[in-house]
Amino acid sequence: MKTITVSNQKGGVGKTATVVNLAGYLSREHNQSVLVMDLDTQGNASWSLADSLLNVSAGEVLLKDCFDVRSWRDSCSRSLSSGIAVVAADSVLADIDSYDIKTIVTRMTAFLSEVGDMGVDIVLIDTPPSLGKALTSALLVSDYVICPIELEAYSLQGVGKLQNVISNIRKYNKNLQVLGLLPSMVDNRNKRHREQLALITESYPSLVIRHSIGLRSSIADALSEKTFLGDIKKSSARKAKQEFSELASWIFEAISEEGKNGTV
């Protein structure tokens, strides 16, 4: 089992869109059993994947002493029969920063071990736009991190900060590999976007993922309609489907072959 955290302390850069669509494409096109953990109290991933919710929430897993493993297993098997199971965000998570990080990580590790026993292949963790304990604990238990970025000057400033966070985490989690920076909501008709993409690719050539995601209304539509992007029939969704399908294939290959080109 591989655990991938999707992170960027900047808000609205496409973290949740990446989690939801990767879950869809990795399960549908690569036959992977995917568990999504929503660690953002906004609960956007839980909302878009509402059909796949488990009977246990993230606050119960990370912050409460115990949960009913037996009933959780039944619920997990049921959800996984359709390919995706979701541990929803809840209001308890709002208190996460008042808990001891070691305790959170211990509980998360124990939970992930249960998840592995259930036959899950890939865990995707959606994180909030802040550098709190939800993000830190996710990175501490993950094998990979992928960072969606928006092509605006201020988001590029954040990349350095993000690198510092990740290199600090690597002191404690030596397994953590950076899959890369994912240019998200790219508008190719926008000169500023084109220039920023060229600049960031030049600044971080080995970090920028070559499968960027365009600014496409079909992506926002699918998220708000709680529909798998691949099931959207409109011809305008064709490019969005192709982009996420290619990104999922690239990630699937990168995590299937350790140390393959593209991971750093």
Ligand X SMILES: Nc1ncnc2c1ncn2[C@@H]1O[C@H](COP(=O)(O)OP(=O)(O)OP(=O)(O)O)[C@@H](O)[C@H]1O
What are the residues binding Mg ion (CB under 5 A)? Answer: 15-16, 44
- CB burial of 7-40 (b: ≥16 within 10 Å; e: otherwise) equals bbbbeebbbbbbbbbbbbbbbbebebbbbbbbbb
Q: Which of residues 185-224 bind ligand X (CB under 6 A)?
A: 185, 213, 215-216, 219-220, 223
Q: Does 50 bind ligand X (CB under 6 A)?
A: no
Tokens of 127: 């994180």
- Cβ 126 to Mg ion shortest distance, Å: 6
Residues 66-105, one symbol each (x = binds ligand X by CB under 6 A, - = not), give ----------------------------------------
3-state DSSP of 205-264? CCCECCCCCECCHHHHHHHHCCCCHHHCCCHHHHHHHHHHHHHHHHHHHHHHCCCCCCCC
Q: Does 132 bind ligand X (CB under 6 A)?
A: no
CA distance linking residue 111 with residue 230, whole number of Å: 30
CA distance linking residue 109 with residue 114, whole number of Å: 9
Query: From residue 55, how far is each of 13, 35, 40, 166 by CA, in Å?
Result: 29, 13, 17, 32
CA distance linking residue 85 with residue 93, whole number of Å: 19
- The position carrying tokens 């926008």 is 190
Q: Which is nearer to ligand X, 14 or 59 (CB)?
A: 14
Q: How many residues bind ligand X (CB under 6 A)?
A: 19
Q: Which is nearer to ligand X, 97 or 257 (CB)?
A: 97
Q: Give the binding range for ligand X (CB under 6 A) out of 37-45, 59-67, 166-174, 247-255.
A: 37-45
Which partner, Mg ion, ligand X, none, binds residue 110 by CB below 5 to 8 Å per kind? Answer: none
Which partner, Mg ion, ligand X, none, binds residue 17 by CB below 5 to 8 Å per kind? Answer: ligand X
Q: Give the binding range for ligand X (CB under 6 A) out of 13-21, 85-93, 174-182, 204-212.
A: 13-21
Give residues in contact with ligand X (CB under 6 A).
Answer: 11-17, 40, 42, 44, 129, 184-185, 213, 215-216, 219-220, 223
